[in-house]
Structure 1
């Protein structure tokens, strides 16, 4: 199997991206949406891709596994002047493709983009029990800035999240 390609999302990816989000929602409890809760359409996803491309401080990277999207990393920059230097990160990789260095490659590509785009602060949240995610983020230079107590309600249980960030020189 060839190495999956990491590239910027295109409007033509809308349907495949929606399919990826839906699979991730069913496959893991680490994403924000619960299975079946995501109600986006391909047209809405196409519009969202267009919006992200129009923002200098935002990007949406996808992992193309040879005709199927198998991962994504979105960086969504602040829209007000005081937050434009900062981008909120979301990431998801299908289980079948984890452990292959794709997460590392996504974050390396993200950091190169951020430096070119003038983004100084990368931030994300992660459930405190997501040990694989936390290990990846620490490896990529993110630090825990605090704990968001009971920030999520998953399967009837309140869960904590870490707020993590990385500052770029």
Structure 2
């Protein structure tokens, strides 16, 4: 589904949040690869589950056509610096909910990009009859957990020893949800 374009000015940085377009596919492939190598907060290590531009074109096309999917990008002077997706399940028993995911280039942390991608996604979900948003977050990502709580998400469960990170230790994944009755 498509949404309207929003402009933001945070901590001296102008950026735009808009729906992804098929022509973004090349940049998205590069940005995702870079982000996966910048933080252990993501599920993948750099290069794992690589999506090439053709793969992103297909995702964008599907997300644009499907009423319970949303693909947003954050841009600074036409450079994609982050993105988020809401993906719905098309089984009737799960048709009320979407799963949210977000990532932002490390050099652009601290400008509210992730927060504003999430806020735009929540606004879209509420306006389109989506009753529940879910997400997973690494237990050590305290800033993200606090942000999600401030925006109405609750801890629904813990996946114990869910991920092994570069230090060789296992970490829990927190499952969070926001229900809009």
- TM class by shorter-chain length? over 0.9
Deviation at 1:141, TM superposition (A): 1.1
Q: What is the aligned partner in structure 2 of residue 14 from structure 1? A: 25
Q: Cα RMSD (Å) of the superposition?
A: 1.3
Q: What is the aligned partner in structure 1 of residue 178 from structure 2? A: 166
Aligned length: 169
- Conservation of the 8 A alpha-carbon contact between 2:13 and 2:111: no
SS at match of 1:38: coil
- Residues 1-169 of structure 1: pairs in structure 2 closer than 5 A: 2-155=13-166, 156-169=168-181
- Conservation of the 8 A alpha-carbon contact between 1:22 and 1:38: no
Show structure 1 runs of 5+ residues with no match: none
Between the aligned partners of 2:125 and 2:50, the Cα distance in structure 1 is: 30
Between the aligned partners of 1:71 and 1:41, the Cα distance in structure 2 is: 17
After TM superposition, the score normalised by the length of structure 2 is 0.88
SS at match of 1:124: strand
After TM superposition, the score normalised by the length of structure 1 is 0.94
Between the aligned partners of 2:19 and 2:78, the Cα distance in structure 1 is: 15
Deviation at 1:89, TM superposition (A): 0.7
Between the aligned partners of 1:146 and 1:154, the Cα distance in structure 2 is: 20
SS at match of 1:4: strand
